Structures are given as C-alpha cells and as structure tokens.
C-alpha cells in the first residue's frame, strides 16, 4: 500500500491505480486542478489506453503531440508522404516546402553506407594484455556457440554476430578490458537482441575463465562490470544528397538570384562546419526533421540524437552534419548521419500510430527508413538555411505564431482572416494581436492566468 509522507514524498506510488495516482498528485501538488485535467487526454478506447499505459510506468495521462505529414518527398525516385511527429510550428511546413522544391529537381538520393551495430562487454581480467590475440579465436567460438539459440532467428533474417575485438583499457584500470562486438540486426533496431546476447556472453565469459584449458592459474580471475549495446553507431550510417545546376536554383520571393542564393547558402554551411556554436543550431534544424520521423515511426529518438551528435564531433570538433559544394556550376548538398532505426520490434508495431506511419511509407525495411529520415533531415536543413540566407527565419515562424495566438484567443474564422491580413508585414506580438481583436470585437478581453503572470 502506498504511504504518504511529508514534503510531497510518497512510498509505493507505482502500486497505486491510475485514479489514485492522479488524486494524490491533485491533493499534493495541484490544488487548483481536477481529475478532469488528466482524463481529458484519455484515449476514447479502453484497449488503446491499455496499450499506451503498458509502454511506461507510473502513468497518469497521455501527452498528445501533433502528427503531421510532409508530402512530395521523393527519395531514390519514389514519392513518400512522410509522417512527422513534432510540437514545433513551421517544421512540417518547412520540410514540405523543401521536399516539393526538390521533387522538381531530381529528388533526394540516399545510400546506406553501413548498417552495423555495436555492443560492449566490460570486465576486469587477471591475465596479461599480450595473451589476448592467442585466446580470442577460441573464446569467440565459445561465445558464438553459447548464444546460438539466441541468434538463430536473427541469422535467418540476415543479422547476427559479425565479429569482435578484445580491447585493453589501461587508462581506466590495468586489468580493465572490453569485448567490442559487431552485430547485424536486420530490420530491427536491435537493442534488446544485442543486450540479451551480451548478457549471455557475460555468463559464458565467466564459465570460460573458470574452465578453459587454455588459461593458466593466474588468468582465471574475471569480473564482469557491465554488458550493454553502444548507441555510438558510426557504422550504421546513411547519406542523403540533392544536386541541381545553379541556374535552376531560383528561390521565388526571396529577392536574391540563384547564383547569389547558392553563394550565401554555401557560406552558411561552411560557417556551421567551422563554428561549433553555429553547428549545434544547424544540426538542431536537421534533427527537427529526423526526430519527427523517428518519433512517428516508434523509434528511439534519444539514441538517434546521441549518435548524431557524437558523429558530428568525430574529428574532435563539433561540426555541421551536412556539407555543400559547387562543382562545374552544379550545387551539391548532402548529409551523412548515423541512424539506428528499426521497422520491426520495439514500439514500431505496438504503437498504433507508429504502425500506421510505417503503412503510410509502404512498410519499408530499416535501410529504406534510414534513407527517408535522412532525406527529411536534409530537407529541413535546406529549408532553414534557405530562409536564413534570404528572408530570415522569423517571417515563416511569425505566420505560425500568429495562428497559435489566434487559437489561444479563440478567434473565429472571419476574425482569423482579418487579423492575418492586418498583420501581414507587421510585427506579431501577443499583446498586439489581443489589442487588434479587442478593437474588432469592441470589447476588452479577460486575460488568461498565463497572461496575468
């Protein structure tokens, strides 16, 4: 049974039912709210609610995010309507507009460079580092055999163990070692598979140390520290690229000609390659596109983010993930990014909207999805830079911002139309929009709690 304590603490919160959890939160932290503030977001179907509740722990509500679509994304000659889950306004609009622009200029070309995942088994060992080369082949055979029951199905799908290295980490401790294991995980992201196999290796490593005839008495001490996949996946990477003769790179309404646009664009990318402060923002824009696809397809965006940023700092300095060059009057823009994605397993089938997203994309394999996500990231990056080096980013943002303000002030359709016309070319602010609406309505409007704060 849960025990309420002083100072907002509680024992056994997870044991409470959902209604009790909500009530405890209301009583303890939310005196002005009611259970309705949580219930409002409940799924209409009990089955769906059960599915969602099973994804996580201590659940008290659902947290909806917009699910949008960027149509006209042409990747390797095939046209996709790309599902995107993101809360930031303008991102889907930017991806859509960029995708449409490139759809008439050859579309995106993508290529999976490699699709290998890594796992690590760390341990302390009493042997000498120089003995590893002699011992590894037999140890590897033994680990392979011990995990054959776990890897058989993955091997049938084209994945499985691809090899291993035995590393010494003297900078951590003179007896610290790592087995760095390479895996293929076919169409799954593979985290569960890799972790399960590594934990089996850990047990077998201990048995090997205790029983192998190849080891001498002073080589038998093994202490497993940890076994876990690595989210650093530089060998599971994809390249997305666009190219077009400069003369066809016109940007209507931008006020700059094609050659000038390309010159400014190229400089903007080079700034992000050389300056980490700009590179982080630049890459954030790329991840706006990639994360939205990763989320929509039920993949792990934290893993993708961590891997992308490690990759961006590969040579010791954080740099832009995309590159731009002009060769013989042709503009080339490309993005290389590690993307450990799956189209089977995990949430990809369990979350009904992730499954629908994959249906929308024609049930791609993992490598095809890597290409689609990378193309969306490049589309996003192109759109951001196109605005930044021409009109500035705020013009597009403010259009969306205005619509959000109008929604929060419950503007009617005619009020929206009139206000949008009025603010075209004017600076948008919450206060300004409120004042304009008050004038239209001829009444002073009550301020919300947020506005009064």
Q: Is 284 a catalytic residue?
A: yes
H or E stretch covering 125:
strand 117-125
- CA distances to 29, 68, 83, 324 from 376, rounded to whole Å, are 41, 13, 10, 17
What is the DSSP secondary-structure string of 232-257?
--TTEEEEEEEEEEGGG---TTSSS-
User: Of the listed pieces 40-48, 106-114, 279-287, 307-315, which binds ligand MEV according to CB under 6 A?
Assistant: 279-287
Q: How many CB atoms are closer than 10 A to CB 233?
A: 24
Among 285, 346, 371, 377, contact with ligand MEV (rule: CB under 6 A): 285
Separation of alpha carbons 406 and 415, rounded Å: 9
CB of 419 to ligand MEV, least distance (A): 25
E strands in 345-412: none
Smallest gap from residue 347 Cβ to ligand MEV (A): 25
The distance of closest approach from Cβ of residue 83 to ligand MEV in the complex, given in angstroms and rounded to an integer, is 19
- 288 is a site residue for ligand MEV (CB under 6 A): yes
Here the contacts of 27-34 (C-beta below 8 Å, separation 24 or greater) are 28/4
Catalytic position from the list 100, 284, 332, 399: 284
Number of residues located near ligand MEV, criterion CB under 6 A: 9
User: Using CA atoms, how far apart are residues 402 and 420, in angstroms rounded to an integer?
Assistant: 7
Give yes or no: 145 in active site.
Answer: no
Question: Is residue 93 part of the contact set for ligand MEV (CB under 6 A)?
Answer: no
| Rounded Cα gap, residues 373 and 387, in angstroms | 21
Q: How far is the CB of 270 from ligand MEV (least distance, A)?
A: 13
Residue-by-residue DSSP string for 394-408: HHHHHHHHHHHHHHH
Q: How many CB atoms lie within 10 A of CB 158?
A: 11
Residue in 20, 87, 88, 223 annotated catalytic: 88
| Residue 146 vs 388, nearer CB to ligand MEV | 388
- Count Cβ atoms below 10 Å from residue 207 Cβ, excluding itself: 12
Binding mask of the shown chain, residues 391 to 430, with x at each position contacting ligand MEV by CB under 6 A: --x-------------------------------------
Q: Which position's Cβ is nearest ligand MEV? A: 285
Q: How far is the CB of 250 from ligand MEV (least distance, A)?
A: 21
Query: Considering beta carbons, is residue 295 or 411 the nearer one to ligand MEV?
Result: 295
Residues that bind ligand MEV (CB under 6 A): 88, 281-282, 284-285, 288, 384, 388, 393
Supply the residues annotated as catalytic. 88, 284, 300, 397
């Amino acid at each position: 049974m849960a025990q309420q304590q002083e100072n907002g603490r509680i024992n056994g919160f997870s044991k409470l039912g959902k209604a009790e959890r909500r009530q405890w939160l209301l009583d303890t932290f939310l005196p002005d709210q009611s259970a309705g503030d949580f219930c409002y977001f409940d799924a209409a179907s009990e089955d769906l609610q059960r599915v969602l509740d099973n994804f996580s722990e201590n659940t008290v509500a659902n947290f909806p995010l917009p699910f949008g679509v960027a149509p006209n994304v042409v990747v390797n000659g095939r046209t996709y309507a790309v599902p995107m889950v993101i809360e930031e306004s303008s991102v889907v609009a930017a991806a859509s507009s960029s995708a449409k622009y490139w759809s008439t200029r050859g579309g995106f070309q993508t290529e999976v460079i490699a699709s290998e995942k890594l796992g690590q088994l760390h341990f302390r060992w009493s042997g000498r580092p120089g003995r590893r080369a002699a011992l590894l082949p037999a140890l590897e055979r033994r680990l392979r055999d011990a995990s054959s029951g776990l890897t058989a199905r993955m091997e049938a799908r084209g994945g499985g163990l691809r090899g291993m290295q035995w590393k010494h980490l003297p900078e951590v401790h003179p007896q610290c070692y790592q087995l760095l294991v390479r895996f293929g995980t076919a169409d799954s992201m593979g985290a569960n598979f890799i972790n399960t196999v590594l934990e089996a290796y850990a047990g077998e490593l201990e048995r090997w140390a205790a029983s192998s005839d190849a080891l001498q008495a002073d080589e038998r001490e093994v202490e497993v520290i940890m076994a876990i996949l690595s989210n650093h996946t530089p060998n599971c990477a994809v390249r997305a690229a666009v190219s077009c003769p400069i003369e066809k790179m016109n940007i209507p309404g931008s006020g700059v000609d094609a050659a000038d646009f390309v010159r400014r664009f190229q400089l903007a990318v080079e700034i992000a390659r050389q300056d980490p402060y700009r590179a982080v923002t630049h890459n954030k824009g790329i991840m706006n596109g990639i994360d939205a696809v990763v989320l929509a397809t039920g993949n792990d965006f934290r893993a993708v983010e961590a891997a992308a940023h490690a990759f961006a700092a590969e040579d010791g300095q954080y740099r832009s993930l995309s590159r731009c060059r002009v060769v013989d009057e042709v503009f080339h823009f490309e993005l290389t990014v590690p993307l450990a994605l799956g189209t089977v397993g995990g949430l990809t089938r369990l979350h009904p909207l992730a499954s629908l997203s994959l249906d929308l994309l024609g049930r791609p394999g993992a490598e095809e999805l890597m290409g689609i996500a990378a193309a969306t990231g490049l589309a996003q990056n192109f759109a951001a830079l196109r605005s930044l080096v021409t009109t500035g980013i705020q013009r597009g943002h403010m259009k969306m911002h205005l619509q959000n303000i109008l929604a929060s002030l419950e503007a009617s359709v005619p009020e929206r139309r009139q206000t949008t016309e009025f603010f075209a070319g004017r600076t948008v602010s919450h206060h300004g929009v409120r004042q304009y609406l008050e004038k239209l309505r001829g009444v002073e409007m009550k301020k919300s709690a947020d506005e009064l704060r």
